[in-house]
Structure 1
């Protein structure tokens, strides 16, 4: 039974609207979202969302910011738990794919800056920079430990970033699951094999 507007306290309304919007995106897609529909799904009045979000793009931007914060927590935990920098690089990739699978509604907006940019939520424009910085620092750690070639870290940063986005895009919007069925594996197992290959290639190239 959805809460009524009067039952939300101390930011509860905003959180409920974010959750309702994410659930709607995951169930019906971005095109289904309107502030009126999100209000209905959250069990509040049609005007309630405007207390926090002046328009749909502001709502989308807030969800993207929330998603980047959740993702960064996952990536940091994966890096900190890894015994070596090169394993940390693979763990970051795996954590990104796992996050995308668990939070597809967030990820769809995180990858669509044209939908999730709003002057009302200025932090959205820079929300993904901390994750890229963590990835860059991990590549530099790999260089220091000798598990990645020395030099400019940016090509490897871009390669790992592109690999992660490629995997999740194929999984969420493409044929990855069907391909895995044909191969007798799962997307999770295939991702683990890809990261193991990446780590092996890096170690070999730096030897």
Structure 2
């Protein structure tokens, strides 16, 4: 029994070590630096040992990405908490958008791994990982509904939140690919702010028509 517990503890420690190594490599060198042989050397184990605790390298990368997503969400929540009480929907969406841009700029290699990596043959995310990626969308849904206490989250709200988040990601990814340094950050911030402001204004117009109708 003691030997079984020891083996489980050793596997747990190796798993934690590998996740941390992947996070460090992605943060410093990017996704391309994550290779099984290099991880084995850094962890002091065999390549085979990696696949004893993870089914494949893709699963290991996705597990490491969870920490990046958690940090992104924490930065978004902090930005919202810093707003004055009763901040408008537009102000909240702008704060969330700018927090996203700043995170992507400050942690670019990890950010790229979070949204660029899909595994071999561009296969879909596993269900558990896809569910985690929905959390920023859920945050946007809450902002949309905050000023409409009688409204219920439905397909329309979910569709709007998903579309807004996808558009925001597109601005960030495209901007980081085509611009450099401070100019890149300023321009992406401006585009992101404009996007969510227009979306919020459009939503306000729709809600106002519904109130009058």
TM over 0.5: yes
If you compute each CA radius of gyration, which structure gives the higher value, 1 or 2?
2
Aligned length: 184
Runs of 4+ in 1 over 6 A off after TM superposition: none
Q: 1:132 to 1:158 in 2, by over 3 A?
A: closer
Q: 1:198 to 1:192 in 2, by over 3 A?
A: same
Say whether residues 1:104 and 2:108 are aligned partners: yes
Say whether residues 1:167 and 2:171 are aligned partners: yes
Q: 1:77 to 1:11 in 2, by over 3 A?
A: farther
Kept in 2: contact 1:135–1:157 (CA 8 A): yes
Name the CA distance, whole Å, in 2 between partners of 1:14 and 1:23. 14
Q: 1:51 to 1:113 in 2, by over 3 A?
A: same
Name the CA distance, whole Å, in 2 between partners of 1:202 and 1:57. 35
Say whether residues 1:45 and 2:50 are aligned partners: no
Residues 97-138 of structure 1, C-alpha deviation per residue, up to 9 Å, x if partnerless? 2222233343333324632999xx762231112221011111
Residues 65-104 of structure 1, C-alpha deviation per residue, up to 9 Å, x if partnerless? 2222222212222222223132111111111122222333
Kept in 2: contact 1:22–1:105 (CA 8 A): no
TM-score by length of 1: 0.68
Normalized per residue, which structure has more helix? 2
Q: 1:10 to 1:32 in 2, by over 3 A?
A: closer
The aligned residue for residue 189 of structure 2 is: 192
The aligned residue for residue 20 of structure 1 is: 21
**Unpaired stretches in structure 1, ≥5 consecutive residues:** 1-8, 146-150, 179-184
Say whether residues 1:176 and 2:173 are aligned partners: no
TM-score by length of 2: 0.66
Query: The residue matched to 2:54 in structure 1 has which SS?
Result: coil
The aligned residue for residue 134 of structure 1 is: 139
TM-superposed CA distance for 1:193, in Å, is: 2.6
Name the CA distance, whole Å, in 1 between partners of 2:118 and 2:196. 34
Name the CA distance, whole Å, in 1 between partners of 2:92 and 2:16. 32
Say whether residues 1:91 and 2:92 are aligned partners: no
Kept in 2: contact 1:35–1:55 (CA 8 A): no
Kept in 2: contact 1:67–1:107 (CA 8 A): yes
Name the CA distance, whole Å, in 2 between partners of 1:66 and 1:186. 28
Q: 1:108 to 1:115 in 2, by over 3 A?
A: farther
Query: The residue matched to 1:127 in structure 2 has which SS?
Result: helix
Kept in 1: contact 2:141–2:157 (CA 8 A): yes
Residues 113-165 of structure 1, C-alpha deviation per residue, up to 9 Å, x if partnerless? 632999xx7622311122210111112225x39xxxxx943454244313321
CA RMSD of aligned residues (A): 3.6
